[in-house]
Structure 1
Amino acid sequence: MSFMKIDLHNHSYYSDGFLSPSEVVLLAKKEGCDVFSLTDHDTTDGLIEAQQQADKLDLKLIHGVEISAMWSNMTIHILGLGIDINNETLQKGLKQHQEFRQLRAEKMARGLGGAGVFGALEKVKLVAKKGMITRTHFAQMLVQEGVCKDMRSVFKRFLTGKKPGGVGGKWAEYDEVIGWIHAAGGKAVLAHPLRYRMTNTKVRRLLNHLSGADLDGVEVVTGSSSSDEITLVSQWAKEFDLLSSIGSDYHGWPNQRVRIGHLQDMPQVNEMVWKDSSWLN
């Protein structure tokens, strides 16, 4: 199926993306995607609008969500792909995370105030188009305010660990999150495994634990993967008997380079996450 253009990890302004769900879907069509997923952080609110637009354009939209989860006191991201957005178990879990995000935004703003960045919450609300405020919104605000020159320098100085605005995660544990996704009939896929600042040994331990908790797949190709990274994750997918997924993790902020559907090829040796599903029909 390599001739099909598939991108299963993207964001709209319902979480920390820049564009509306309709605009993201329009862009996916323009970039030649055949199968596309919108996977906002801890919310499925953008999917109804995205589906209406996808129907008009005859684009196959996979309903998705990217859920934060705890593993070994670290935050990881698990995608739910092909979910039923009306599932009560899933929505109850997501609501719990949305409430924590609200609380976290207030704490982050207080932390930044202590470091001399005043009115952070009001300023960040102007950046976030919808109710959900994420770390990306705070980072973009710090760049816009001229406090930091770019996104990278934000995370060197603020918003992580013990730095001003750093707030620890209070997400559900990984096995619980996988449970929510399965309750909603979806496939649970670990997002961007090489982006957690872990050694390769630790990532393998993570994959081992998650596959033991019924994780379905892992993202082998992302918008920023090198071919060596793709080969490595592809080998891990085989080792832990996980399906392979592909997604750009497009957010669309003007200072980000990732583009929808511009992805390297998936290694042919892997079983794809869409096997045994109607996603490609």
Structure 2
Amino acid sequence: MTRAARPLQADFHTHSTASDGTLAPAELIEESARRGLRVVALTDHDTTQGVQQAVNMGRNLGVRVIAGVEFSAAIERGELHLLGYGVDPDNQALAKRLSELRETRRTRAVSISERLAEVGIDLPRDLVERMGESESIGRPHIARELVKLGVVESVSEGFDRYLGRGKPGFVSRALIDPEEVIQLVRGAGGVAVMAHPYSVPNFGELVPKLVDAGLSGIECYYGGYDIDRRLELASLASDLGLLATGGSDYHGPNAREGRDLGAVEVPSDAVEALLHAVGHG
């Protein structure tokens, strides 16, 4: 009697120091291997800079690494995050647009620093320069600086008091249209997936419109969702013929409950479907 193959343990939503994670790409894959993960997608914000380092480490440790990226897109009442899986990091159109988006982040970081200075908080002058042009600076970097300065005790407090919407240091950022994201991802050989849908206003109405634009999947098995929400999303994905993906949204050690690396169990058929869709099947 043949023993059934062990299901592939996968996490399709992770971040590294190339954006706002706290582990370097290679360290992330080392930690993934220690935890028994076999497949990991690196989905940093607005950059694919860490992908090659992660892929190289994955080859050494037997972890399959999917080249990914996470976009923040503008919608009528807020913003939407879209994950691109299986993209070619060397695709010129994708690389050019990501570079432009990273520049908007750098500009915003300078503006945030100026606003915080107005309320008596002086961030290091080289904060933005410390991040290379291929890396993606975000509010979490600034929140961590606030912790280092002793202004707040935690990153979450930094957002609550200074960096969240309506707070002294909040600065909005120009966002990309979701349809453009989908076109970029598909043009780079990948598939586009809606991340953590319950954070999107009226996502149920939005999904069919994005399907018409080429959306390929929904992040159903998300670290912040209970079983009922995951099953509801999986049912929606099935009804629309979409991929049902999943991941922790891991940013580093000391993660919130459900957001630790590999904490989300993604069904084997969902793992295999995504791998097939991005040419890893």
TM-score (norm 1): 0.88
What is the correspondence of 1:7-156 to structure 2 with a 5 Å cutoff?
A: 7-72=11-76, 74-119=78-123, 122=126, 131-156=135-160
Range moving further from structure 2, 266-275 or 58-67: 266-275
Secondary structure at the aligned position of 2:198 is classed as helix
What is the correspondence of 1:104-253 to structure 2 with a 5 Å cutoff?
A: 104-119=108-123, 122=126, 131-196=135-200, 198=201, 202-253=202-253
C-alpha contact (below 8 Å) 1:113/1:120 kept by paired residues: no
Cα displacement string for residues 161-184 of structure 1 (whole angstroms, at most 9, x for unaligned residues): 232121123121010011110000
CA offset at residue 248 of structure 1?
A: 1.1
CA offset at residue 270 of structure 1?
A: 10
Give, as a single letter, the amino acid of the residue that structure 2 aligns with 1:83: V
CA–CA separation in structure 2 for the residues paired with 1:205 and 1:115: 41
Task: Specify every segment of 5 or more residues in structure 2 that has no aligned partner in the other structure, as ranges.
Answer: none
- Percent identity, aligned pairs only, is 32
C-alpha contact (below 8 Å) 2:245/2:266 kept by paired residues: no
Task: Specify every segment of 5 or more residues in structure 1 that has no aligned partner in the other structure, as ranges.
Answer: none
Cα displacement string for residues 93-121 of structure 1 (whole angstroms, at most 9, x for unaligned residues): 10110110110111111121222212255
Give, as a single letter, the amino acid of the residue that structure 2 aligns with 1:262: A
CA RMSD between the two structures: 2.5
C-alpha contact (below 8 Å) 1:243/1:270 kept by paired residues: no
CA offset at residue 271 of structure 1?
A: 9.0
Q: How many residue pairs end up in the alignment?
A: 275
C-alpha contact (below 8 Å) 1:21/1:46 kept by paired residues: yes
Give, as a single letter, the amino acid of the residue that structure 2 aligns with 1:227: I
2:280 alignment partner in structure 1 = 279
TM-score (norm 2): 0.88
CA–CA separation in structure 1 for the residues paired with 2:12 and 2:71: 14
